[in-house]
C-alpha cells in the first residue's frame, strides 16, 4: 500500500487512541514562544490511523485545558490508549495528566513518547501511572504496541523495538530501530487538529498562511549541547524529494498553504536531494515561499542561487557563539569565517538571514559573551536571537556539568551553568541587554521598519511586544 494512500484498514472495535501534548509550567525556565502544531505527534497519529485505529488529538500546550477537562475528554472518548509526548520541560505536567487520566479510567494504558522518553525512560517508568514508554521515533513502535494492547498482535511486547516497560526483574528497554524508508510514513494527520486556532504565519516570510514541515531525521554532527542523534540516529534519513513535493501540494490544496518552514536542523546536508527538491519546486511552478535551517558550513554559491530561484526567502543559522574557543569547546566544528562567508552569500542571492546565539555555555566567560554580541552586529542578520543555554538530559555538556558541579538546577532535570562570574539570573539580564543593544541600533530599526511597515513597528514599540518564532 502506498505510504499516503487513502485506503486504510477497518476501524478496530476497541481501537480508540487519544494523543496529546502538555505544556511546560508557566513560571518555568523553558522558552514559551509562539505555538506551532506538534508535527511529530501528527506523524504518529497518521500511522495509527493507517493501521485502523480511531484517533483523536489534543494539543494541550495550545489549549491549556485543566486536568478536570482532560478527564472529561477521556471519559467521553473512552480510549483504550492515551499517548502523551513528553519533553524534560513538560515532565511535571505529563505525570500530573497521567495520574488524572488513571483516576477516571484506570484500565486505560498510558504510553509516553518524545524527547524525554528517549533520553530518560526510567524516570517515566518510576511513575506507576505510566504503563509504557516509546523511545526514538514513534510511528512504527506505538502502532505495534497498540496492536499488541488491542489483541491484534499476538507477539509479546518484548518483541517491539523502541518500547520500555516494567517487569518483575526491573525495567525492560528494547533498543529502538530506525525507519530506513521514510516514505512509508503517511503525511501528518493535520486534519485532527484545529489549525484555525494556530497562528499560521512565519516571521521570516511574507506569504500567508504558512505551515511547518519536517522532511528529514538524524544528524551526522556531534555538538555537545544536542543529543538529537539518540532520538533520530547518527545518520540523516529523509523523505524522497518527490514525497516532499507531494506533501507540499497536499498542504496547498487542502489548507491553502503559501509558505513553509522546513524545521529540520540541516536542510542542506544531503546536497543531491536538496538540488533535486529545488528543481522539482521550479518544475512544478509552485506559488510558494519557504525558509529552512542549516549550518554555515553546508551552503555554497551554486546551491544558494538554486534555492533562491526555488522560493527560499530566509535561512536560519545556529551560529551559537562569537568566540572561536567556545565553538571548539562545544564541538560545533564551524568557524567565524565560515559564518561570515555564508551570510555574505545569502545576501548576494537575495536570501534573508536569521540566526541564534547561546549565552552561558560551559567555560564561557563574560568576555566571550561580549565577543558574541560584537560578532552578531558584524554579521548584521535580519533576525537575531540570544538564548540562555539550558542543558538537557543526556547531552554531552549536560553530563559534563553534572560531573563538574558548576551548575544550577532549574527544575528536576534542566541545568544552567553557574560560575563565579554569572548565574542563570545574571544570564537573563545579559540576554535582555544584548537583545536591546542589537535590535535598537539604527541599522536594525531601519530594517524592521522596512520589513514590518512604519505602523506595525510603531505599534510594537508602543505595546512593548516582540514577535518571535518560538522555534530556536
User: What is the extent of the structural domain holding 458?
Assistant: 200-235+247-463
pLDDT of 230:
76
pLDDT digits (tens, 9 = 90+) for 11-27: 554 589 999 999 887 76
Calpha distance 415→396 (Å, rounded)? 13
pLDDT digits (tens, 9 = 90+) for 433-454: 999 999 988 878 787 777 776 6
Where are the strands (E) in 67-213, listed by range? 81-85, 109-113, 132-134, 163-167, 170-173, 210-213
pLDDT of 194:
96
102 and 210, same domain (yes or no): no
356 and 426, same domain (yes or no): yes
- Residue 5 CA neighbour count, 13 Å, CB half: 9
Q: Is residue 363 in a domain? A: yes
Higher pLDDT, residue 417 or 458? 417
Residue 3 has pLDDT above 60, yes or no: no
pLDDT of 445:
78
Average pLDDT in the chain = 90
Residue 8 has pLDDT above 80, yes or no: no
| Whole-prediction pTM | 0.90
Q: Is residue 113 in a domain? A: yes
For residue 452, give the CATH number of its domain: 3.20.20.70
pLDDT of 118:
93
Query: Do 205 and 314 contact (CB within 8 A), yes or no?
Result: yes
Boundary residue ending a domain (136, 157, 173): 173
Integer angstrom CA distances of residue 165 from 145, 178, 179, 342: 11, 19, 22, 46
Burial track 6-26 (b if 16+ CB lie within 10 A, e otherwise): eeeeeebeebbbbbbbbbbee
214 and 107, same domain (yes or no): no
pLDDT digits (tens, 9 = 90+) for 239-286: 999 999 999 999 999 999 999 999 998 999 999 999 999 999 999 999
Look at residues 55, 63, 120 and name the one whose alpha carbon lies nearest to residue 87.
Answer: 120
**Within a 10 A sphere around the Cβ of 461, how many other Cβ atoms?**
12
pLDDT digits (tens, 9 = 90+) for 144-157: 999 999 986 666 89
Lowest-pLDDT range of 29-38, 83-92, 346-355: 29-38
For residue 152, give the CATH number of its domain: 3.40.50.280
Query: Do 121 and 176 contact (CB within 8 A), yes or no?
Result: no
In total, how many domains does the chain have? Answer: 2
C-alpha cell at 296: 554555515
| Sign of torsion over alpha carbons 392, 468, 425, 94 | negative
Look at residues 56, 55, 63, 54 and name the one whose alpha carbon lies nearest to residue 22.
Answer: 63
Query: Do 297 and 336 contact (CB within 8 A), yes or no?
Result: no
380 and 271, same domain (yes or no): yes
Mean pLDDT of the region 191-216: 95
pLDDT of 392:
86
Amino acid at each position: 500500500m502506498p505510504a499516503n494512500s487513502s485506503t486504510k484498514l477497518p476501524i478496530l472495535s476497541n481501537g480508540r487512541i487519544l494523543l496529546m501534548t502538555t505544556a511546560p509550567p508557566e513560571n518555568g525556565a523553558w522558552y514559551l514562544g509562539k505555538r506551532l502544531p506538534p508535527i511529530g505527534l501528527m506523524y504518529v497519529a497518521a500511522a495509527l490511523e493507517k493501521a485502523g485505529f480511531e484517533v483523536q488529538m489534543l494539543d494541550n500546550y495550545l489549549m491549556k485545558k485543566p486536568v478536570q477537562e482532560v478527564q472529561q475528554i477521556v471519559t467521553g472518548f473512552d480510549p483504550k490508549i492515551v499517548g502523551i509526548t513528553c519533553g524534560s520541560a513538560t515532565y511535571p505536567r505529563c505525570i500530573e495528566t497521567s495520574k488524572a487520566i488513571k483516576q477516571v479510567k484506570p484500565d486505560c494504558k498510558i504510553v509516553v513518547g518524545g524527547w524525554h522518553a528517549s533520553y530518560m525512560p526510567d524516570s517515566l517508568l518510576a511513575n506507576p501511572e505510566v504503563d509504557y514508554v516509546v523511545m526514538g521515533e514513534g510511528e512504527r513502535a506505538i502502532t505495534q504496541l497498540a496492536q499488541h494492547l488491542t489483541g491484534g498482535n499476538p507477539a509479546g511486547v518484548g518483541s517491539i523495538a523502541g518500547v520500555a516497560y516494567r517487569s518483575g526483574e526491573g525495567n525492560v528497554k528494547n533498543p529502538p530501530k530506525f525507519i530506513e524508508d521514510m516514505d512509508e510514513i503517511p503525511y501528518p494527520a493535520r486534519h485532527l487538529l484545529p489549525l484555525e486556532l494556530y497562528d499560521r504565519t512565519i516571521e521570516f516570510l511574507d506569504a500567508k498562511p504558512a505551515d511547518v514541515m519536517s522532511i528529514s531525521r538524524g544528524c551526522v554532527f556531534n555538538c555537545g549541547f544536542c543529543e538529537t542523534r539518540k532520538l533520530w540516529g547518527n545518520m540523516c534519513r529523509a523523505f524522497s524529494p518527490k514525497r516532499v513535493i507531494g506533501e507540499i501540494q497536499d498542504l496547498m490544496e487542502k489548507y491553502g498553504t503559501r509558505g513553509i518552514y522546513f524545521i529540520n536542523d540541516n536542510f542542506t546536508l544531503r546536497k543531491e536531494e536538496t538540488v533535486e527538491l529545488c528543481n522539482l519546486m521550479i518544475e512544478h511552478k509552485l506559488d510558494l515561499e519557504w525558509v529552512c535551517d542549516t549550518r554555515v558550513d553546508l551552503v555554497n554559491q551554486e546551491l544558494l542561487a538554486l534555492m533562491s530561484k526555488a522560493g527560499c526567502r530566509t535561512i536560519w543559522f545556529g551560529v551559537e557563539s562569537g568566540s572561536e574557543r567556545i565553538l571548539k569547546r562545544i564541538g560545533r566544528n564551524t568557524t567565524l569565517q565560515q559564518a561570515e562567508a555564508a551570510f555574505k552569500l545569502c545576501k548576494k542571492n537575495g536570501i534573508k538571514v536569521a540566526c541564534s546565539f547561546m549565552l552561558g555555555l560551559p567555560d564561557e566567560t563574560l568576555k566571550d559573551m561580549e565577543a558574541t554580541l560584537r560578532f552578531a552586529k558584524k554579521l548584521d542578520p535580519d533576525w537575531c536571537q540570544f538564548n540562555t543555554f539550558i542543558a538537557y538530559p543526556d547531552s554531552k555538556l549536560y553530563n559534563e556539568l553534572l560531573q563538574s558541579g558548576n551548575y544550577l538546577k532549574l527544575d528536576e532535570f534542566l541545568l544552567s551553568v553557574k560560575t563565579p562570574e554569572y548565574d542563570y539570573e545574571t544570564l537573563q539580564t545579559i540576554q535582555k541587554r544584548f537583545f536591546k543593544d542589537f535590535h535598537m541600533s539604527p541599522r536594525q530599526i531601519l530594517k524592521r521598519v522596512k520589513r514590518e511597515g512604519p505602523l506595525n513597528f510603531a505599534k510594537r514599540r508602543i505595546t512593548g511586544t516582540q514577535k518571535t518564532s518560538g522555534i530556536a
